[in-house]
Chains A and B, each alone.
Chain A
Amino acid sequence: MAERKAFEIAAHSGFEEEQQHHIAMAVREAAVNAVLHGNAYNPDKKFFVAYEKTPQALVITVTDQGQGLDETLIPDPLAPENLMKQSGRGIFLIRAFMDEVTIRNMHPGTEITLVKHVGREAANAKEELK
């Protein structure tokens, strides 16, 4: 649901198809994280997804009602000892696909803010052409 909404908003915000996919996937990973690791499958707890479109960026905030996430405890999935682990790539993929990612411990709950800048790829391409 959150993923589909993110895809629609990204499309309406003028992002290219590949960026739409990246945004939707980041939101999906953040939502899954909120339900699994944040709310720990507790059906009484909710998670919230907020979208804000500014002229410069699409800002998406995913909030859960869990115990809170300590970012420093997230293992690096690219480390040799973690490479073949079955899980632990969600936050990494979110960071790979978005321009800015902020994780805030809300005591309780975690808020993950995802930012994708409008026209960044176009701007970068112009820089490369100079």
Chain B
Amino acid sequence: MDFNPTAFDVEAGLKSWLALVGILAGVALAIGLLGSFLSAGAGGAVVFASGLTSYVKELLSVSPRRIFALASLTVKEAIRRKALLVFVVFAILLMFGGWFLTDSNDRADLQVSVHITFMLTIISWLILPIAIFLSCWGIPEDIRIRSLHTVVTKPARRVEVVIGRMLGFSAMAISILLLMGIVGYVWIQRQIPDQVTGANANTRNLLTCRVPVYGTMFFLDRQGLPKTSGLNVGDPWMYRSFVEGNSRSRAVWLFTDVAPDKLGDSLRVESRFEAFRTVKGSDESMTQGLEAQYTLVNNAREDAFSSFGVGAGFREAAESLRSGNFENAAALLNSAAERMLTSPSDFPYVDCQQVAIACELQVVPTLRKVGDFPAVADAFEAFGKAAQQVTADSSDGYSGLSTACATLATVLEENAAELFQKMPKIEVPLEPFRVAEFHEGDDYHEYPRKLTYAGDYEATARFLAKVVSGLNDQGKLLDGSDLAATLVDDLAAAGIAEVNAELVEQVLQEEIKAEHLTAEDGRLTVADGGRWLTFFNNLVREERLISQDPAGWMLEADLFDDLVTSDGVLRLEVACLDDQMYLGMARPDLFIRLKDNMFLTGYSKALLNIGLMLSLVIVLGVTASCVVKGPVSFFFTLTIFVIGQFFHEFMLKLLSGEEEGAGMVESAMMMFQHRNPSVGADISEGKRQVMEAVDNSFLGMLNAASNIIPDFSTFSSAAAYIENGFDVPWSSSVLPAIATYVGFLVPCVLIGAACLKFRELEAK
């Protein structure tokens, strides 16, 4: 099944619902008016107005007590008609179902899935026929034996009869559902095997509801430039995009709203990637699969400048911006500003347009989001606008571009240190893992909040700046005017290896001696007034802080403090480490898990969705039974259900053109002529036009049907989630189910009430 949840858009749904109901109401009123004129002649309008007024008056005078009385009567009727006998069938299925399900699969997670599927399926399919039968026969039977006549000669409004019937049958069905659900829950708990086997045996509790958070996704190509998709390995129906092994190619997921209260004190990642090999390899490597690696990245500079260098003319400057060397970037832009006047061909029109787009869509918005650099953002904005003025057939725009570029360089130089401080780049590569070609279940990894990793130059500089400045602020760095004797111990306590701590102490001592650092009032300051980060960054890049520990600078990053951005975004990159191999992935293939919910939570939501489905079937059945007799109503409701459950998606695909094929007449013609869709039917142009007109009218009807027939698969999606061990998401499963039910309930009640009101119960 496809786990690609899309949150239900209530506003858009409401708008389309109002439009559709408005159209239906208009059609109904037009038919009513026409009928009135046909039956009453010239006085039809008066008759129509009188009927409509009376109808609206009845709708407004509905009494909940009478509805409740009618609903109670309905429940009693269902019970005394032996509807509860369904429990006998249910009990029999439960008694013997276990025989066939236990040990039906070697994998415990699939066994659980089978049991849950079995339970939810029998619950649905046992109650469904009862719901259809009762709802379709209730009112027609009342009319046949005329018990309804006695009711409507009391003050009961006919709309109350309709609502009471719907409510009563729904209450009945939901009561049965609840009872079966409770029994089913106990049965599932007892039936699933105690012995856990399979790949993920020790990694997750089988009866829990995982709560996934899906991110947005994009790819980086082998140059590290962002792309919307990865490589295609030759699959014409490409679902997954592939990243190339041993290159800068990555799949990048961005997760929003990441916070400790949702995730707890760890990061749990689940994925299911597709391994694609270009060489066979050894038996061992075939079994082990491909090596993949997650990297957690907090890279504000990448977010801001990744597209800046798409055009070759600005590539070097973009590299400097991305690496954090803003002074160098300023120098390069200054140089570029001069060359724009002397050699504008180095900055072709296309490059200028690309950099203008990058400035407008990425650089400026990101800098404004960071918020501390309005001058830099303004300079980039001006630069982008100047680049936009460059035209393909004239060099006039380069003068303005050069000026803007020089201004930008000046602003960058002025803010270089601040930019470097506020726009960090921290990359924490996590432990590589294997992606098997034929793997069971998902790959699951759990990482602690405090992550230890081998730092690169920048990370080391940032870490040391943070630790040393922290000690300095606490007054622990100095003892008088000398470094404190406990400094090595304090650094070690911050997670620095002892040999590296000694190195730091030694370098600091040298810097004090060289008067690059000044001791004042028990605090150490950088002599030139610079920042600690710049100070340590220079030391690291001068290679004076090369790790004395063979493992390198093992640093500690806090998941939420260091890797999640201030606006709650976590960036996770996936790379394939094996050369000449490819790793395929799509958006739903990777998710992070929030705190798990109890199985009961997801199970209850699945039952709620089933209850809504049954209630909607009842609503449709009762509505149909207000118009036609029991058997017709039964087949009508059943047909609507079957189409809605199994063919609604197909209808939408046909209408959207996703499902290829011709129109009905054209298809028939091609079948008759033994021709395929690529060549089409062999007919004259005139006939083709007629045929297409007919087909278009059929498509129009199909469009109407797709809007009028409810999508019952909305309800069954919830079961699929818990069958696969997920919690049922509110926004993409429960909410659409509720919206679908309510969306059909309201018009159905109105239609049913109108049909019952304007029909002669005693008509012969």
Are A and B a genuine interacting pair, yes or no?
no
Q: Which residues from chain B sit less than 8 Å from chain A, CB to CB?
A: none
Q: Which residues from chain A sit less than 8 Å from chain B, CB to CB?
A: none
